[in-house]
Amino acid sequence: MKSHFYDLLHKMEIEPIAELNRLDTLFTSEKSVVVEGFPRDYYYTLEQFIDNTIFRSLPFRGTYTNIREMRVALNIASYQFDDSIECLFLYCEFLKAILPFVNHKNASAMNQIIIIFNNIDVVLEKTNYEWLERSSREFIIVEKNKITTEAVEIIKDDATAIKAIEYNHYALKGDLGKKKEILLKLADYVEPLLKSRKLEQNGFSDLQSDLGFVLNNFNIRHNNIDGNNAKEYVVKLTKTSELEKWYDNAYEMILMATITADHIDITNELKRIKSSFRW
């Protein structure tokens, strides 16, 4: 049986350059914004409308005087597009930063913005990414990760929870320095858990031991590339992409330790209830 039309649409892979051009058409090319005037109305692209009304009052404008200057600096002017998911996501983040500041009283502008955000939502859904609100009106695109979502619900410290989500940001792929920085903060968060030996005492000694081993021997907590703490295996990894895989493994292990500790607490509480009441 042939796939249904909507199933086919859902299964289609994203072509970054095609999606970039669609978003750019909606933002830069289509004269979709109507401004009433006498004796006639005026029609602007959304980019022109923003330049003429709000751009110079944006809190993150810096010294740029118009949208084009900012886009060129970010390497997302139309002529700078490339067929990469990174370029597409950066353009999406740029639009997400600017468009919420548009005056909601202009219905035609709002209609165009809704279309743009609908396009972005489809792109994120098909690529398994989502928005993260890092702070008020500041959004980044991060990869969906079920383990991350579960762990973040458990992590009590908001700053640590945000770091756990940020680890999945598309721009961090290949950035071992930034990943290491986040891992160090997450390691500090789970250190009391490791010192308590809760995992080991409740049947998860391998997770306890392995997590400590990776944090201490894979160039995360210590310099394992050179000096007294150099590790032969890790030195070889620095010449390949394998070290990033171990960073990602360490990240997953930290989250699993967090989730497991919560599971242990729930199990122990249930044991207490079972032993305290008649069933």
Please indicate whether residue 91 or residue 9 has the higher confidence score (pLDDT). Answer: 91
Q: Which domain holds residue 167?
A: 150-276
Do both 13 and 133 map to the same domain?
yes
pLDDT-based confidence at residue 237 (cuts at 50, 70, 90): confident
Residues 95-133: b if buried by 16+ CB within 10 A, e if exposed: bbbbbeebeeebebbeebbebbeebbeebbeebebbeee
Do both 13 and 139 map to the same domain?
yes
Do both 137 and 209 map to the same domain?
no
Last residue of a domain, one of 119, 144, 169: 144
The rounded mean pLDDT for the chain is 92
Q: 36-86: per-residue pLDDT in tens?
A: 988 899 999 999 999 999 999 999 999 999 999 999 999 999 999 999 999
How far are the Cα atoms of 138, 210, 234, 239, 247 from residue 242, in angstroms, in the given order? 32, 17, 9, 8, 9
Do both 20 and 133 map to the same domain?
yes
Last residue of a domain, one of 129, 144, 159: 144
Do both 131 and 167 map to the same domain?
no
Token digits of residue 215: 């944090």
Number of domains in the chain: 2
pLDDT-based confidence at residue 148 (cuts at 50, 70, 90): very high
pLDDT-based confidence at residue 111 (cuts at 50, 70, 90): very high
pLDDT-based confidence at residue 251 (cuts at 50, 70, 90): very high
Do both 135 and 103 map to the same domain?
yes
Q: 114-126: per-residue pLDDT in tens?
A: 999 999 999 998 8
Burial class (CB in 10 A: 0-12, 13-18, 19+), 158: exposed
Note the pLDDT of residue 158.
87
Note the pLDDT of residue 9.
66
Do both 10 and 73 map to the same domain?
yes
- pLDDT > 70: percent of the chain: 95
Do both 140 and 17 map to the same domain?
yes
How far are the Cα atoms of 175, 220, 261, 267, 275 from residue 271, in angstroms, in the given order? 44, 37, 15, 6, 6
Do both 134 and 26 map to the same domain?
yes
Q: 21-40: per-residue pLDDT in tens?
A: 999 999 999 999 999 988 89
What value does the mean pLDDT take over residues 237-257? Answer: 90
Note the pLDDT of residue 25.
98
Do both 14 and 78 map to the same domain?
yes
The predicted model scores a pTM of: 0.80
Do both 170 and 256 map to the same domain?
yes
Last residue of a domain, one of 98, 119, 144: 144
What value does the mean pLDDT take over residues 98-103? Answer: 94
Do both 18 and 121 map to the same domain?
yes
Evaluate if residue 8 carries a pLDDT over 90.
no
Note the pLDDT of residue 21.
97
Evaluate if residue 4 carries a pLDDT over 60.
no
pLDDT-based confidence at residue 1 (cuts at 50, 70, 90): very low
